[in-house]
Structure 1
Amino acid sequence: MVVECTGKKSASTVQRRHNVLLLAEIANPEMVSVPLIGWCIAEALARQADVHLVTHIRNRPAIIAMDWQEGRDFSTIDTEAVVRTIFRVARFLGASDNRGWTIYQALAPIGCYAFEKAVWDKFRSALKAGAYDIVHRLTPMSPTTPSYLAARLKRLGVPLVVGPLNGGLPWPDGFADRRTREREWLSHLRGAYKWLPGYRATRRDAAAILAGSLHSLSELPEQARPRSFHFPENGIDPARFALRRTRRAQAPLRGAFVGRLVPYKCADVLIRAAQDMLRANALHLDIIGDGPERDSIAALVRELRVDQAVTLHGAVEHRQVQSLLVDCDFLACPSIREFGGGVVLEAMALGVAPIVADYGGPIELMDDQTGIRVPFASAQTLEEGFRGVISALLKDPARLDLLGDAAVERVRTLFTWDRKAEQIMQLYDWVRDGGSRPSLMPGIF
């Protein structure tokens, strides 16, 4: 889950320095996760540059509702027949709405090739005429999806920016059972994407590559490193995510889990870790989200006899999540394979301290002054780690207030969408004009 973003395209903008053809096959202000990220970055960039967005036709109604004019502000590409075929094949291979993510990603390059070829056919003349000084492929964000356009744009002399790319975080040891339950059998074969047509050309010919995580950055070839930048993809719109935690932590503490109820998110591990504190009424947990593990989570709550201290909220409309989260003392994120972790930023923006499993994207959004990391090597040590941290916080609840207050400032400084657009503008300047390599996000590792 990622944070909320909205806003009309301003009629009066500052003088624009770049003409950008922004490719975001997935960009939708009415959705969450990658589609919402794609839209929010596009909308923020459009306040600072002359941006023409190219997206899939399915996003058209939602973008028009934001007062963007088709033809002037954005164009659409219709590859719906290809997308439907991909979904049918993915379902045949065992994927579902909540499981089998790797299956979808293995097939995604087919749709991206079709989308980018259609973009090339539609905009080739304008690109040859110099109408755009930069092409930025914003989504898809999967590192396994090469660009059809990379070599073609290089021949035209039009720089291509790719990313942020994020994904492919390896499963940690000790969680084979959860990988099986997630139907992630294809994850063993993920390295095959390096043989896809366009893989080498994308990394060779892109003028700059944004990596959404340190893992994704580490997977880029050595030749691409001088043109690659660590740039977490998530962000916050403070105008829309405006609530602020005012309660001060004291026993009984209130914690929250926010996310899909699927095996790798480990909501069950959190409940088991906290069971003694829940039974003693020293802690209340709000479980916000739904998914295929909902029934087993409910059964676990009954089995552990903690019904009175655990509230299963089920699915909550994304804009309403903050109204529940803001009344909590901490967010628990025990997920063992989280690429981005936008919910961590949501909590931080509210002043709610995050407690996260020490692996993957979430730990790259916070530091030791704004959150707590829980090291682990197995499901057992993950459970023990969360139990130890929460027990210690019951003895020192004021620490949560200090962490939460610092988290608000960190988000304001680094992670608003407008701040992130400014950072991308620095990258565009460097791509076009050269000079010293920019430091896009000082303070992030």
Structure 2
Amino acid sequence: MPDTLRIVIIAPSLDGNDLSEPEWAYRWVEALSRMADVTCLASSRIGAVPLAEQLPRARVVTWPEIPFLYRKLERFNAQVKPALPLFHAQARRWIKHAQRNGETFHIGHQILPQGMRHTTPLRNLGFPYVVGPLGGGLKTPAGFEKEVQATSSISARLRQIDDVRLSYDPFLRAGYAGADLVLGVAPYVVARLAPVGIRRFHALPERGYGNFAPERTRQSEVGTLTLFHAGRTIRTKGLRDTVRAMARLRDLPNVRLVSAGDGEDLTNCRAEADRLGVADRITFLGKIPREKVEEYYAASDVFCFPSFREPMGGVFFEAMAHGLPIVTAANGGPDFLIDDTSGIRVPVTTPDDFANGIAEAVRALAMDPALRLKLGQGSRERLHSFGSWDDKAELMLSFYRDIIARRAEGMT
């Protein structure tokens, strides 16, 4: 077993100054680069701080993004990633060239992209490799399909072909079947990959914890509650369901909802609030700066984010860092991330029953400040249990070493 592991990491779009996947993957790679010999193959993002400056301890090799896709078709590019095959070809060619020049890599890790619809360039290169954490691929619950389809973009509907590809695409299947370890953001991922027959799986949240907000010791009065919902306003994120839940809480006029985020379903949510007569108790902020989002977390009593097709949800990590009890959907990533010590998970059946369930959860929290305090403390503890970025890097190193040892012993 080598003292220092030489790791090659595939991570297009990596950027520590971005949000979501590019940022969390950067944190992971940065931590690994302080513990091992890391070569990172990535994109050079337009307008971003050069990745080599962001990762001074790693060897960084980048290829430029395609300007047209980044500037003109940003959302389509983020979802479909049409330039990914070119990036993978460049990465694979670079690795083979390095090997011909005598370089040895002990293990590879494709950490981005997170979606299950993408192949890997690490197959059949003579060293073991890891893929993930993977997320996505969740199906829309049957009772919600009509409303979701009414506001879905064309690129979002490409999800419908994922099942077919996982069952029949030979390149996609071979990439996962050949991986020594597949990581998923939650246990549902292994079920989605069942048609492939992967060797080994481990559920691991995509994010680590950073700084915690000061601990809360006081709660609002009985019947008084500020709910906070933050995220892109699309139908699956559950804001419309939360608005409907507010209409079932008319007898609690001091329960209020604040929403931060923009998206194609925001107009529908505003209209729903007007139609149900609860617009005076809901504040739609739209898109606001990051620092303002933190202020609203700090000023809120409960994080209500019943996203019913959520792969994981970075906003949960933010809310838990503020010690907020969570109301969410009992489906996908949230069903794994949030447990009974940190929040209330609502079964996803029909839109009407879902709204009723959210309302019942909110009512329970509004009427029981002690429960809010208990779940808020549990929320912080739950987040701490997922580990810091350094903890995650240490865990990955243990996985890498175990994989290398298994290969040496002829095990799979």
> Structure 1-normalised TM-score?
0.82
The aligned residue for residue 172 of structure 1 is 141
The aligned residue for residue 55 of structure 1 is 42
Shift of 1:416: 2.3
Q: 1:40 aligns with which of 19, 24, 27?
A: 27
Q: CA separation in 1, counterparts of 2:257 and 2:187?
A: 31
Shift of 1:104: 6.6
Q: What SS is found at the alignment partner of 1:347?
A: helix
The aligned residue for residue 182 of structure 1 is 152
**What one-letter code is carried by the residue in structure 2 that aligns with 1:173?**
A
**What one-letter code is carried by the residue in structure 2 that aligns with 1:412?**
H
Aligned ranges 1:145-156 → 2 under 5 Å: 145-151=118-124, 153=125, 156=126
Q: 1:275 aligns with which of 244, 247, 258?
A: 247
Judge conservation of contact 1:23–1:137 (CA < 8 Å) in 2. Answer: yes
Q: What SS is found at the alignment partner of 1:229?
A: strand
The aligned residue for residue 9 of structure 1 is none
Shift of 1:213: 2.2
Q: CA separation in 1, counterparts of 2:196 and 2:282?
A: 51
Note closer, same or farther for the CA distance 1:276–1:192 as it changes in structure 2 (3 Å cut): closer
For structure 1, list consecutive stretches of 5 or more residues without a partner in the other structure. Answer: 1-14, 436-445
Q: What SS is found at the alignment partner of 2:148?
A: helix
Judge conservation of contact 1:19–1:49 (CA < 8 Å) in 2. Answer: yes
The aligned residue for residue 31 of structure 1 is 18
Q: 2:117 aligns with which of 144, 147, 156?
A: 144
For structure 2, list consecutive stretches of 5 or more residues without a partner in the other structure. Answer: 408-412
Judge conservation of contact 1:288–1:316 (CA < 8 Å) in 2. Answer: yes
**Is 1:414 the equivalent of 2:383?**
no
Matched residue count: 400
Q: What SS is found at the alignment partner of 1:61?
A: coil
The aligned residue for residue 4 of structure 1 is none
Q: CA separation in 2, counterparts of 1:321 and 1:201?
A: 42
Q: CA separation in 2, counterparts of 1:294 and 1:221?
A: 36
Identity %: 26
Judge conservation of contact 1:27–1:59 (CA < 8 Å) in 2. Answer: no
Shift of 1:280: 4.1
The aligned residue for residue 347 of structure 1 is 319
**What one-letter code is carried by the residue in structure 2 that aligns with 1:166?**
G
Note closer, same or farther for the CA distance 1:222–1:307 as it changes in structure 2 (3 Å cut): closer
Q: CA separation in 2, counterparts of 1:434 and 1:318?
A: 44
The aligned residue for residue 206 of structure 2 is 233
Q: CA separation in 1, counterparts of 2:146 and 2:195?
A: 35
Judge conservation of contact 1:413–1:419 (CA < 8 Å) in 2. Answer: no
Judge conservation of contact 1:112–1:147 (CA < 8 Å) in 2. Answer: no
> Structure 2-normalised TM-score?
0.88
Shift of 1:24: 0.4
Judge conservation of contact 2:236–2:309 (CA < 8 Å) in 1. Answer: yes
Judge conservation of contact 2:109–2:131 (CA < 8 Å) in 1. Answer: yes
- CA distances 1:83-119 after superposition (whole Å, capped 9, x unpaired): 739x98xx7xxxx84xxx7x975x43x5322112101
Judge conservation of contact 1:243–1:323 (CA < 8 Å) in 2. Answer: no
Shift of 1:131: 3.3
The aligned residue for residue 116 of structure 1 is 88
Judge conservation of contact 1:117–1:149 (CA < 8 Å) in 2. Answer: no
The aligned residue for residue 284 of structure 1 is 256
**Is 1:371 the equivalent of 2:336?**
no
- CA distances 1:415-445 after superposition (whole Å, capped 9, x unpaired): 422222222122111112239xxxxxxxxxx
Q: CA separation in 2, counterparts of 1:222 and 1:376?
A: 25
- CA distances 1:23-72 after superposition (whole Å, capped 9, x unpaired): 100211222121122212112222222222221111683355954349x6
Aligned ranges 1:210-221 → 2 under 5 Å: 210-221=183-194
Note closer, same or farther for the CA distance 1:125–1:242 as it changes in structure 2 (3 Å cut): farther
Cα-Cα RMSD: 2.8
Q: CA separation in 1, counterparts of 2:238 and 2:194?
A: 33
Q: CA separation in 2, counterparts of 1:312 and 1:37?
A: 27
